[in-house]
Each structure stands twice: as C-alpha cells, then as structure tokens.
Amino acid sequence: MFTLFGGRTVGKGTYWNLNSGERIDVDGTVTLKGSRADRYVKIPVAGLCIAGPLAGLLFTVVIPFLFLFVMLALLPRTVHASGASLGDEAQVCLGCHATPGMTMTFTDKSTVSVHVDGSHFKNSVHRDLSCTNCHSDVSLDNHPAAKYASKQQFLLHLASACRTCHADEQVLANPLHQRAITRANAPPCSECHGSHAIRKVPTKQAKQNTTQYCLTCHKQQLSTTINGHTLSLTIDEGRLRGSVHKDHTCTDCHITFSRDEHPDRRFSSVREVSIAGSEACRRCHIDKADQHKGSIHFSLLAQGDQRAPVCSDCHGSHAVGKKGLADTLAGVPCKNCHQEIFSLYEGSVHGKARKDGKGTAPLCSNCHFAHDVKPTMASRSPKDMCLGCHAGIASAHKAWLPNTEAHFDAVACTACHVPEGIQRSVYLRVTDDSTGLMASDTVVRNLLRTGRTAINAVQGKHIDADEVWSLYKQLNSEHAVHMSGTVGLTSRRQAHQLAPKTVAVRTCEWCHSANAAFFQSVSMATAKPDGRESHIEVDKSAIGSLYAMIPLNQFYVLGGTRIAAMDYLGAAMILGGIAVPFAHGTLRLLTARYRRERKQQAARRGGTGR
C-alpha cells in the first residue's frame, strides 16, 4: 500500500527504489522510471533512519525469540498431549481405569470411584510417577480385590503413600497441616489436594486472593466437634459471593487468621463461637453494636443466657443479606426465635396489611427497634410508637372518648385494640418520683419476704390489700414514690394480635363496671434488671379496699374502683335518712290521740289551744 511502481507519476517527496536502493528527491512532479517490476517507497530520510534499525531489530532479534518462547511453552504440552510421556504401566492401568463410572466397594459397602481421567493425570504434578509409586500394594501381577474395611481406611492408607515423598518437615511447615494432622479425625491428604489431578500448590495459591485461599479447604465438607456438638466449617461459596460482604476477604473478619497463621482456638460450646464471632462485626458497625448493647438481647447475654441473639443470628454469618431483606415478611429474622408471636402478628391488622402489600405497615422492628430491641410490657403499650404512625388518632378519640388523655395515660392501646376474647388485667406499679423508674423486682420481692411490717406474701401467694399499703409505706420511706394503675393485656404476647378498629372496644361499660373482666386479674408490675416486667399477683379486692385509698390515689376507674367500705357507709346514711321520717312520723301517729284530747280539753276551756 505504501509501495509504488515504475511508470507512476508522483508529487514532492523522497522516493527510494527498493530494487536498486537509489534515492530520488522530487521537487515538482515526476514519473518514476521502469515498469511494475520496479518498486519504490516514499519515506523521508529521517524516517528511514528510525524505521530502518527498528525493522532490522524486529527481524533479527524479537521475532526469533518470541518464536522460541512459544515453542518452549507449548513443547511440554505437545509432548504430554501425545500421551507418549505416560509410562507404559500407566497406559496399562488406564486401559481399564479410564472407563467412567468404575467403582470399588469396600467391606462396609461404602464405595469409591476408581475412574481416572487420563488428561487430569497427565497435567498433574505427579505425571512422571507411575501408578504403583502410590498404589504400592497393586502391580500388574497382583491386583487384589477390595481388602479395605471402608473408604476412609482406603484413603488414609493412600495418605501414608504421600508421606513417602512429602516428609514431615515439609508437611508440618504449613500451619494448616499442623492443625489438621494433630486431630484424631484428620482428613486424608486427598480430601484437600485431590487424588489424580494434583497441581503444584504454591503456584496455584500465589494466583489466589485470600478468600480463594481459605476456600481451598473451607468449601470442602469440613466440620469440627465441640463438646459433642458438630460445628460445620464449610462455607457455601455461592452464598458468600452473593452476600453484601462479597468484596471483603475472610481475614477482614477473621482477623487472627492469615495465609500463614491459623490459630488453634478453643471454645467450650458451638454457641460461643458465634458469640465471639459477632465481635468482628463491631469493628465496622460500631453504631449498631452500641445500640445492641442497650437491647434486651444483650442484657440476656450479659446475664449468661447464651440463647440471646448476636449479629450472626439475625444477619447470617457468611451469607449476610441486604438490609432491606429484614424488612420483609419473608426475611424478618425475629421469627426465627419468636415464631409463636410472629404467627400472632401475621394474623393482626398490621400483618395482614403487610401481606396485602402495604409496605408501610409495621414489622417487628418498627415497634421494638432493630438493634436496640426493647422488652415489651404487658401493662403498657408502646404508645409513642403507635402515635408515631397514627398521628391524628388522639383527636379521633377525643371525638367520642371523654377524658381522652386520662384514658391514654392509664389504658394501653392494646387493651382496647385486640379481639374481645383476649384477657386484660389491672397492673399496679410503683414509680420512683425522682428517677421516674418502676420499682425494682428484687427490692419489692425482698420487702414482700422480709419487710419490717406485716408483709407475709411469699412467692406463689398474692399480695393482699393491707400488704399493698405496707409495701407502699416501706418503699415510700426510702424514696418518694407513687403508685399508679394501668389496664393492659394479661399476656404481652397477645399485644401482637392488634385488630381492625371496627373490633376495638368502644363501649364504656366494658371497663366502667365493677364487673369488668380485667378487675378479676390484678398484678403488681415491677422492673427486672434487664428492663423486663415481672408481675406479682395482687388480691383483686385490693382495688376497692380502704387500704388502697392512699397508695392507689391516682388509680380511678368510674364505676370500677369504688371503695367497698363507702357502700356500707352510704347504705347506713341513707337508711338513717329514711328512718328519721318513719320513726318521727310513727311517733306522731301514736301520739295523735293525746294531742286531739289536749286540743278538745283546751276547746272546752274556751281557749285557743295555745
């Protein structure tokens, strides 16, 4: 294309005759001499000075070297591919063992594939060995039937063959081997390295990132046993790659591990491994970890209840899902432990709304928080949570409910907004005036057992009316406290059965009657150290007792909490009021004759009767 031929008319430039090497400088236009057999090229002198040596170098040095390199690289493959390098013995063995599906059955009926893919073996680092180098008990003359008890025994026997060449020093140099070999149930070499397709490990590992390195073993079926319980060490690579942490390497979380370090850690239970593992999450998710420290889950853990969930229980360990997953009915992790409550929730107005696709309907964490999981109370509903979504609900209640705020203070939202059959209770609670905290369960129970005054309620018995008074006095003697009453659900689980508002209680009599069902169940609510509520049964007559006059001065349900003594006093007063006219009137009737006679006598005397 850059080559010109004789007879062509060309413009200004420097032309070279490739046949003779003659240089032709053209100023105007000129016709090149000769025919199509004479080839010319147009190159400036400076261009020739650079291109010339380069072309020369290419031809004389680089191309031959490249050729040599490719040849050297391809040569072994070419040679092996020919099959010529496999020993005669291997050729003979493969004559049978190349058949796919060949198996050997052991005494215990376990089987192993004895099919060998010739091409795998040809590419393995052991390609120069003959079969009997490893399978030393087998030869062309001696090919025994299965003499091993099990597949495991067979593989372990073969592993000892590896040790023939790979000395202990070489093997134990790898910390992974140190750990594996010292175990009683150490896996045979082939479990990690394969059998006939063994590649040169360092070359392979050098190309791997850390995760791949770890997965070399951990994608195998690995497990360990802690105190008789099995802990799987197998990582599902697919799920790991699908997790939100896919771009992290194993050692980002497992910080004490590396290619060179594989510490031998000791745990007393499988559960401890998960608990310790969750510490890794804290390194990045500090805020969430701090929130978790304020949760009921953490409190339980701190109290030694290892069932309490840690990060991995909700989020998974290696298959950590996207944040939004926990906000779905299918993915919410709470149900893993709280299945019964979740079923109740699913039947609730909120659960049904979720099922119907209303994404704004609350799930567990909307009321209970996600990490700072708060304990629920049977005596109260999380009113602020309810009002957080149902913002206009206070004024909606005001339209029909007198003293709405007083009701909101004393009645849990759940007490009215669950189906009718669910049992409600009255809860008495003592609150410290200065701290605003509920009385401690330990303190109250101690006072009930060992108080100075006549508190004789013990566990399993209820608190009598006079004991409510004594308890109040004693608590009040240390700090200023006040006692209040609330109406809530008997079981906090049932708070999850929130019903549509058409079902909600709207009849005043439902509560405002001494016959109201919840007055039959009275408890004192106290606070456990972890923030949960404890309930101690109170004699139901305490509500209407004179003893409750002072302690329960703030708990008042029209028609429901009347003091029984006032009924007797009232009856006496009204009967007295009726008795006065009756007694006085009767006396007047009985004395009427006397007055009549006196009047007649006076008339006879001619007086006026005065």
Rounded to an integer, what distance in angstroms lies between the CA atom of residue 563 and that of residue 543?
8
Report the nearest approach of other proteins to the CB of residue 531 (Å): 28
- Closer Cβ to other proteins, 91 or 521, answer by number: 521
Rounded to an integer, what distance in angstroms lies between the CA atom of residue 488 and that of residue 181?
62
- Closer Cβ to other proteins, 137 or 405, answer by number: 405
- Closer Cβ to other proteins, 215 or 563, answer by number: 563
Report the nearest approach of other proteins to the CB of residue 534 (Å): 26
Name 559's Cβ contacts closer than 8 Å, sequence gap at least 6.
512, 513, 514
Report the nearest approach of other proteins to the CB of residue 406 (Å): 5
- Closer Cβ to other proteins, 199 or 562, answer by number: 562
The CB density around residue 600, as the number of other CB atoms within 10 Å, is: 11
- Closer Cβ to other proteins, 3 or 515, answer by number: 515
Report the nearest approach of other proteins to the CB of residue 325 (Å): 44
Residues contributing to the site for other proteins (CB under 8 A)? 402-403, 405-406, 409, 508-509, 512-515, 548-550, 552-556, 558-559, 561-563, 566, 569-570, 573-574, 576-578, 580-581, 584-585, 587-588, 591, 594-595, 598-599, 608-610
User: What tokens does 241 get?
Assistant: 């790659």
Report the nearest approach of other proteins to the CB of residue 549 (Å): 6
> Hey, what's the torsion of the CAs at 467, 469, 473, 474, to 10 degrees?
10
- Closer Cβ to other proteins, 429 or 496, answer by number: 429
| DSSP per-residue letters across 480-549 | -EEEEEEEEESSGGGGG----TTTS---GGGTSSTT-GGGG-EEEEEE-TTS-EEEEEE-GGGGGSGGGT
- Closer Cβ to other proteins, 154 or 519, answer by number: 519
Helix (H) or strand (E) holding 42: strand 39-42
Rounded to an integer, what distance in angstroms lies between the CA atom of residue 230 and that of residue 223?
7
- Closer Cβ to other proteins, 339 or 591, answer by number: 591
- Closer Cβ to other proteins, 389 or 574, answer by number: 574
Rounded to an integer, what distance in angstroms lies between the CA atom of residue 591 and that of residue 571?
30
Report the nearest approach of other proteins to the CB of residue 271 (Å): 50
- Closer Cβ to other proteins, 76 or 559, answer by number: 559
Q: What angle do CA 56, 59, 64 make, to 5 degrees?
A: 145
CA torsion through residues 333, 339, 341, 342, sign: positive
Across the strands, what pairs with 485?
428
Report the nearest approach of other proteins to the CB of residue 512 (Å): 5
- Closer Cβ to other proteins, 125 or 573, answer by number: 573
Report the nearest approach of other proteins to the CB of residue 506 (Å): 10
Rounded to an integer, what distance in angstroms lies between the CA atom of residue 113 and that of residue 154?
12
Q: Are 381 and 412 in contact (CB under 8 A)?
A: yes
Three-state DSSP at 21 gives coil
Report the nearest approach of other proteins to the CB of residue 469 (Å): 13
Report how far apart, in Å, the C-alpha atoms of 64 and of each of 69, 71, 82, 210 are. Answer: 9, 10, 26, 39
Report the nearest approach of other proteins to the CB of residue 256 (Å): 60
Q: Calculate the CA 136 to chain-centre distance.
A: 52
Report the nearest approach of other proteins to the CB of residue 304 (Å): 42
Report the nearest approach of other proteins to the CB of residue 466 (Å): 17
Report the nearest approach of other proteins to the CB of residue 409 (Å): 8
Q: Are 257 and 250 in contact (CB under 8 A)?
A: yes
Judge residue 266's burial from the number of C-beta atoms within 10 Å of its C-beta, 0-12 exposed, 13-18 middle, 19 or more buried. Answer: exposed
* Alpha carbon distance, N-terminus to C-terminus of the chain: 162
- Closer Cβ to other proteins, 81 or 587, answer by number: 587
Q: Are 369 and 298 in contact (CB under 8 A)?
A: no
Rounded to an integer, what distance in angstroms lies between the CA atom of residue 63 and that of residue 491?
87
- Closer Cβ to other proteins, 333 or 560, answer by number: 560
Rounded to an integer, what distance in angstroms lies between the CA atom of residue 606 and that of residue 72?
167
Phi, psi of 408 (to 5 degrees): -60, -35
Give me the half-sphere count of Cα atoms (radius 13 Å) on the Cβ side of residue 7. 6
Report the nearest approach of other proteins to the CB of residue 508 (Å): 4
Q: Where are the alpha helices (DSSP H) in 150-263?
A: 151-165, 168-172, 175-181, 189-193, 201-207, 210-218, 237-242, 250-253
Q: Are 236 and 318 in contact (CB under 8 A)?
A: yes
- Closer Cβ to other proteins, 437 or 583, answer by number: 583
